[in-house]
Amino acid sequence: MIRKVLAFAFALVVLGAPVAHAQDVGLPIGTVAKPVVIEDLEGAAVDLAQYVGKKPVLFEFWATWCPVCEALTPKLAAASKKYAGKAEIVVIAVAVNETPRSIKRHLTKHPVPGRVLWDVDGRASRAFGALSTSYVLVLDKRGRVVYTGTGDDQNIDAAINRAILAK
């Protein structure tokens, strides 16, 4: 019985069931994010501080197997084009049933906007309160959280615009 319950809960998160939406998950609005060091897909260290507190940034916690992440890609691509130079988009690949090699292979056929990084040990997921894939965290230019959310119905455009307009 417990296996069935755990399998159902995992399926809800992995398959992107609407468990939570904007401002229901992750770091509280107004929190100053504390960046961590993770890796790029080549294994080189990347300090997320290079993105935090400079200009608005959107982090998406993503996986190749996540259908909700796939559904968000067009919204991220549109925002990337619209806010080029005004905001950064960083995709953080979670280390669940993934390898950098499988991610690179996937990206050749299914590119995503922004830089793709590798959260090999879950450090970024813990620091930014990411409980599932499709989790989006938007920070303003001071590094404060202005938006968090999950699911495919997120208004990415409005979230980035909110970060740009934040005082």
Check whether 11 has a pLDDT greater than 50. Answer: no
**Torsion sign across C-alpha atoms 38, 39, 44, 50:** negative
CA distance 147 to 163: 8
- The residue ranking higher by pLDDT, 138 or 11, is 138
Q: Which residues pair with 135 in a beta bridge?
A: 61
Selection from 82, 62, 83 nearest residue 72 by Cα: 62
The per-residue pLDDT for 1 is 40
CA distance 138 to 160: 7
Longest dimension (CA), the chain: 52
The per-residue pLDDT for 57 is 98
Check whether 158 has a pLDDT greater than 80. Answer: yes
Average pLDDT, the chain: 87
* % of the chain residues with pLDDT over 70: 86
Q: What's the per-residue H, E or C state across 85-145?
A: CCCEEEEEEECCCCCHHHHHHHHHHCCCCCEEEEECCCHHHHHCCCCCCCEEEEECCCCEE
Q: Which pLDDT band holds residue 167 (cuts at 50, 70, 90)? A: confident
CA distance 30 to 153: 22
The per-residue pLDDT for 24 is 62
Q: Which pLDDT band holds residue 22 (cuts at 50, 70, 90)? A: low
Q: Encoding tokens for residue 98?
A: 């993934």
Tens of pLDDT, residue by residue over 49-97, are: 999 999 999 999 999 999 999 999 999 999 999 999 999 999 999 999 9
Tens of pLDDT, residue by residue over 94-110, are: 999 999 999 999 999 99
Strands 115-119 and 88-94: parallel
Check whether 130 has a pLDDT greater than 70. Answer: yes
Strands 145-149 and 135-139: antiparallel
Cα distances (angstroms) measured from residue 67 to each of 94, 151, 155, 164:
14, 10, 17, 28
